[in-house]
Amino acid sequence: MELSSKIYIAGHLGMVGSAILRRLKEKGYSDFVLRSLDELDLLRQADVENFFEKERPGYVIDAAAKVGGILANNTYRAQFIYENLMIQNNIIHASYKYGVKKLLFLGSSCIYPKNAPQPLKEEYLLTGELEPTNEPYAIAKIAGIKMCESYYRQYGCNFISVMPTNLYGPNDNYNLETSHVLPALIRKLHLGKCLENNDWNALRKDLHKRPIEGIDGTTTEEQILQILSKYGISLTSPFTLHPSPFTPHPSPFTPHSSPFTLHSSPVTISLWGTGQVYREFMHVDDMASACIFVMENINASDLYENPASVTSHQSPVTSFLNIGTGEDLMIIELASIVKSITGFNGNIVWDPTKPDGTLKKLLDISKLEQSGFKPGYTLEEGIKMVYAVYVEV
């Protein structure tokens, strides 16, 4: 890409797309064509093709997707497969039809088989059954990978795919119904800290910015406590609430007796699963840098025909490149890190009746590393940065 190239970023307002846009601007790229969801419905093929016919972008980065955590993936299965297939099909086909020079499609590490060997190499794609809870989303992303490869093989299109690991960072989704594990942990432990400190100003500020099922900062203390309890943030020992400056009387809420070990904090947070599964996390700015590195240095012919030109040694032909840190940790360890950073002092308990998802999803990033890219942030550094922004915004 040249600095003057015309670039279309699909999903530029989301966490991933906005990070890529920031990084491109920092590098000196300046000609962007951008559309919000209100301006361009990516589910409508005619609208997408009219947009491409009018704007004629030279380069396309497809970061648009319907995404969510394990609860959202398992609940909205039809929406996840339909909307993601439609979005990527429309963008990829229009890019071919209107002569896009290069396209980058972003997938997800959930494309790999549930019981694939670790770490996950690109060649493990389609070698086993998928994790059932996110199968519809994974199938859509696999279709996108194969679509890019097929358009190269039939039409010679310079369309390639990258598979990022679990991401976090600015513009993340903190909706407790649909968020991924790390932003959900950050928000739950922050709200738990506010509750244990009886800091109703901070609680109401958070809910004003990010209402939970219609409960915002103007609702009563009882309603707030009920919705927090629904999402696993509960008072679990005798605790007297002081009158809030926002309500004329003390809350009528009566805490239930605690089934847990007594703790100095009156708050217990319940988290899904056993906490014993492993996950890898990457700051979205590092992922954005990796995507731009790929756009500037790696072509479809390198990936599909001659992988030795991407890496320093001969390796199997693959359809995409992994993007990650090469390091993972147990979710219970992640919760401990977030607990320390947020300052929450209460109990964390695990609910094994809820699904864990895949046991381990560590990406093998040797191909990307050997091509010259390295991530910049450690996990603890990244979470501290994210939490500092979370409490300020």
Residues annotated as catalytic (active site), given as ranges: 137
Contacts for 76 with CB less than 8 Å, ≥ 6 apart: 66, 68
Identity of the amino acid at 64: A
CA–CA distance, 237 with 231 (Å, rounded to integer): 18
Angle between helices 181-196 and 379-392 (to 10 degrees): 60
- Kindly give the residue spans of alpha helices, DSSP state H, lying in 156-259: 181-196, 200-209, 221-230
Alpha helices in the chain (DSSP H): 15-27, 45-55, 70-75, 77-97, 135-155, 181-196, 200-209, 221-230, 284-297, 300-304, 331-342, 366-370, 379-392
Owner of token pair 């297939």: 85
Q: Is there a contact between 269 and 344 (Cβ–Cβ < 8 Å)?
A: yes
Q: Do the Cβ atoms of 77 and 34 come closer than 8 Å?
A: no
Which one, of 165, 70, 67, lies nearest residue 357 by Cα?
Answer: 70
Order of strands, sheet of 321-323, starting from the edge strand that comes earlier in the sequence: 31-33, 6-10, 59-62, 102-106, 159-164, 321-323
- DSSP three-state, residue 64: coil
Yes or no: say if 195 and 45 are a contact pair by the CB < 8 Å rule: no
CA distance 149 to 157: 9
**Which residue type, as a one-letter code, is found at position 81?**
I
